[in-house]
Amino acid sequence: MKLPEPMQAAFEEAEAAAARGEVPVGAVVADGNGRVISRAGNRTLELKDPTAHAEVLAIREAARVLGSERLAGHDLYVSLEPCAMCAGAISLARIRRLYFAASDEKMGAVEHGPRFFAQSTCHHAPDVYGGIGEVRAQKLLKSFFQSRR
């Protein structure tokens, strides 16, 4: 199955993150037509910043490019299920749709853990589509962590 271009770009960012020694997660913000607005990979080690997750960096750049803190009508493509911090950023940015590849049973907060978007305190929940490119994402993550052991 051919991946949508924004998800392919998210995987490219994840692979670049792995090459930098970062956990291989990539994220892309695209408009409603699939045109890429911003893209990023994890940079927590490089920037010495625990908030420098791919999703947060891509959202920040899209907001800068678009000149708005609200990204309504835009979609986020991520190679791994977002954590609670990233789910919060997704909600605050008013992302329309979230597409992610692999589930994350340990740190994920969309389908696992706190299930952020299902909470009554969540002001905005995107439409969520998981499992897009899941096998590829799992292989990338497994390979990365095996190389660190």
Residue positions annotated with a catalytic role: 55
**Nearest residue to 29 (alpha-carbon basis) of 95, 118, 116, 114:** 95
N-term to C-term CA, the chain: 32
Tokens of 25: 């997660």
**Nearest residue to 80 (alpha-carbon basis) of 43, 131, 149:** 131
Distance CA 89, CA 6 (A): 19
- Residue 95, Cβ density class (10 Å: 0-12 exposed, 13-18 middle, ≥19 buried): buried
Distance CA 77, CA 75 (A): 7
Tokens of 24: 């291989």
